[in-house]
Structure 1
């Protein structure tokens, strides 16, 4: 069967042929502010990112690096190969203490912890990743943890993964009691158990305000400029 090439089979030169700066914005998903196209923009490597940050040493910029693999697709690069390559770049650039790694695929996080314990790790969780289609088995995303069998709450799952997860990064709806998708554990309860809470992806300013008032440790957003305005408004440095 003919199919487009897998990313793992492309060379860096081939990946650099893609223009990642000219896609039209999805207005329904990103209603504000308007997106700005940058024609000809190429996909940077992690090394190129670190080279750029090296030009501004006084900024001491912290990087949040997401590793994306899909346990449902064996065509994905094996996680050990993927992680080892990323860790090599991080360690070569002396960035272990200035990055955290996040992933929906919690097997990755446990492997990172065994290879480089000094890196802060964040477990991502979405409405489609905490349960398998077949409830009799654990979700392939959660490293063998069965959501219902361990207690059926986000905190119960986190406690099973406490030796390799430092930050809980769920969809914001999963930690908002008024939302139908709420998973039974409040932001405060999760923090009391020793985890930081940094939800994603919060693009509405009124939701940003709500989560800040509730005490989140951070917010993942496509619009950091909007979040900065909210923080200034609330006099939060």
Structure 2
């Protein structure tokens, strides 16, 4: 009797099949894209300020295959890199150096000049956030970058193998905090295309309405359908986040994803089990869960055959992968070492 292939081999076999059958995945199917996808969440959030140029440089120095980042728009309609639709007081100081006391105006109501005055180089030590990420090294004076600046940084570092997984941040339950959906998607696509990064970029969102717009405007770009089924945050329950689709109307979450036109599913890692991953395969879905930070969780999910992991600790995930003999993405030397 022939023994079953190990999880990594099964994953690559399935990917080779999907490259020839699933539409819209050609960018994921060339060369190293077949390998396990090590995604640095907001750069390397556990180690460096999130969604900043220094944070992305830290992730690249560790060695990731994909930079995961979030975008919103400024008042001018320029994509900027922020997880929140308004400044997060846990990580933001005003021009005088004082910690913000509230979220304030949404970014899409602030100019680039106003946004550029905010310091996001360290976590407020009085916050729970600081306890959660006690290892993060501060970089005082770090600013919120534009999406174009991130692309330019990666070009300067000649990190030509690195991909970008860009989350479009919009809360459909607080739509007033975000710009008009189609204008939002168009603004991001314009930067991606102008910077020549379309072949290296995927878009993701919890708001599947934005992904439907992206499917229409940029059918060539891979899309990742984010989901959460947590007690206080369930994006598949009411249809508000999932473009009108509700899990109760389908066999299970993978069936809902397939009905939405998904090819890549990024669920909360605690929402997964081996059976659901097998069901996702039956529905033609790749699976890259978020945000996986602990060694045992990484090992379990790799054993179950996921296609990659999004993590605040790319250093830990690299160690797990190395221990298992998995192919590692190359690290990228810091900019100071490349000036010649």
Normalized per residue, which structure has more strand?
2
Residue in 2 that maps onto 1:181 = none
Distance 1:59 1:91 in 2: 16
Runs ≥4 residues deviating over 4 A: none
- Give the CA deviation at 1:27: 5.2
Q: Residue 148 of structure 1 aligns with which residue?
A: 248
Residue 103 (structure 1) aligned to one of 197, 200, 205? 205
Check the 8 A contact 2:267/2:288 in 1, yes or no.
yes
Query: TM-score normalised to the size of structure 2?
Result: 0.61
CA shift in 2, pair 1:50/1:149, >3 Å = same
SS at match of 2:310: coil
Alpha-carbon RMSD across the aligned residues, in angstroms, is 1.7
Alignment partner, residue 189 of structure 2 = 87
In structure 2, the residue matched to 1:42 is 143
Per-residue CA deviations over 1:14-64 (Å, capped at 9, x if unaligned) read: 111111111147255346xx1111111111101001111111335321011
Aligned partner of 2:109 among 4, 9, 16: 9
Asked if 1:186 corresponds to 2:289, the answer is no
| 1:29 matched residue in structure 2 | 132
Give the conservation status (yes or no) of the 8 Å contact 2:227–2:236: no
Task: For residue 194 of structure 1, report the CA deviation from its aligned partner.
Answer: 1.2
Q: Measure, in 1, the Cα distance between the counterparts of 2:244 and 2:170.
A: 16
1:224: how far off? 0.5
Counterpart-to-counterpart distance in 1, 2:281 and 2:118: 41
Q: 3-state SS of the aligned residue for 1:57?
A: coil
C-alpha separation between the residues in 2 aligned to 1:166 and 1:211? 19
1:130 aligns with: 235
Equivalent residue for 2:214, pick from 92, 112, 119? 112
The alignment partner of 1:168 has SS state of strand
Structure 1 contact 129–139 (Cα < 8 Å) conserved: no
Q: Which runs of 5+ in 1 are unaligned?
A: 133-137, 178-184
Matches within 5 A, 1:136-175: 138-151=238-251, 153-162=252-261, 165-175=262-272
- Deviation string 1:73-93 (CA, Å, 9 cap, x unpaired) is 131211111111000000111
Q: Which has the higher helix share?
A: 2
Gaps of 5+ in 2: 1-102, 328-340
Q: Over residues 85-111 of structure 1, what are the superposed CA-to-partner deviations in whole Å (9 max), with x where a residue is unaligned?
A: 000000111211101111000011111
The aligned residue for residue 19 of structure 1 is: 119
Alignment partners' CA distance in 2, 1:12 and 1:186: 43
- Is residue 24–residue 37 contact of structure 1 (8 Å, CA) maintained in 2? no
Once the two structures are TM-superposed, the CA of residue 7 in structure 1 deviates from its matched residue by: 1.3
Give the CA deviation at 1:189.
1.9
Q: Secondary structure at the match of 2:247?
A: coil
